[in-house]
Amino acid sequence: MISSKAVIKNVRYQPNIMIYGRSIVEDDVILMNFVEIGFPSRDTLKKFFDENKDRNDLNLLIEYGEGSIIRQGSLIRSFNVIYEKTELGRNVRTGHHIIIRENTRIGDDTVIGSGTIIDGDVVIGRNVSIQSGVYIPPKVYIGDNVFIGPRAVFTNDRYPPSRRLIETIVEDDVVIGANSVIIAGIRIGKRSVVGAGSVVTKDVPSNVVVAGNPAKVLMSREEYERKKRVYEENIGRLGVS
């Protein structure tokens, strides 16, 4: 079902999709089954129900909301819900069963793994790789060329549940390992690496590797890259340090 207000260009899509409100879907986008584009936010849903108290036909909801924007060449796999006021850049690729809430901006060439939740009011840069099962709450800002390993969790409240949510910033070229937890209000500097399973409780300088609970500096990014080169050169061998 597609809103009469939506702008759909040269798009390939399977039959079971929903495109709400004034959504824009650009050329060469692929939408797989059970994708919802421009899903109404809580405020829009309230407006709809207030204006349609005597109607049982929820299909009218398709015309409501500001919609979302999906830029050229993106691939949205099945069971994705992308809320209104969200923009995905060019050539964004998603896995399955993803939720992207309202007021989110995602840059070109970014990949979002299956089961990820981006909970609204989030900015993600270009060429970011988000692996499966990542949770990103409101007020998180992620730069360009960032890698986020599976099951990483960001937070935005130091004393939950409180009335104060604070921003967390990940600068360009950062690597965050699997199952890491990033505590609210942290800034991770450019080209830094967070080891798998770390709990980051304070700011991370640029160009360092941190790991542990709480995360502490272990080495420089240069040393990490040296170890990485040795590791790659010894593919198929064991015991590389």
SS3 letters across 159-177: CCCCCCCCCEEECCCCEEC
Residue 42 falls in which region: left (phi positive, over 0), alpha (psi -120 to 50) or beta: alpha
Query: How many residues appear in the chain?
Result: 241
- Tell me whether residue 143 is in a domain: yes
- Tell me whether residue 1 is in a domain: no
pLDDT tens-digit readout, 98-120: 999 999 999 999 999 999 999 99
Instruction: Name 176's Cβ contacts closer than 8 Å, sequence gap at least 6.
Output: 146, 147, 148, 149, 152, 170, 182, 188, 193, 194
Tokens for 22? 């004034």
- Tell me whether residue 203 is in a domain: yes
Which CATH number covers residue 229?
Answer: 2.160.10.10
Confidence (pLDDT) at 235 = 76
- Tell me whether residue 2 is in a domain: no
- Cα–Cα distance between 139 and 168 in angstroms, integer? 6
Sign of the dihedral defined by the CA atoms of residues 66, 91, 148, 31, in that order: positive
**Which helix (DSSP H) or strand (DSSP E) does residue 231 occupy?**
helix 221-233
Does pTM surpass 0.85? yes
- Tell me whether residue 54 is in a domain: yes
- Tell me whether residue 125 is in a domain: yes
Helix (H, G, I), strand (E, B) or coil at 171: coil
pLDDT tens-digit readout, 214-234: 999 999 999 999 999 999 998
Query: Is residue 124 predicted with pLDDT exceeding 70?
Result: yes
- Tell me whether residue 156 is in a domain: yes
Query: Is residue 92 predicted with pLDDT exceeding 90?
Result: yes
Q: Which domain holds residue 163?
A: 7-238
How many domains does the structure of the chain reveal?
Answer: 1
- Tell me whether residue 31 is in a domain: yes
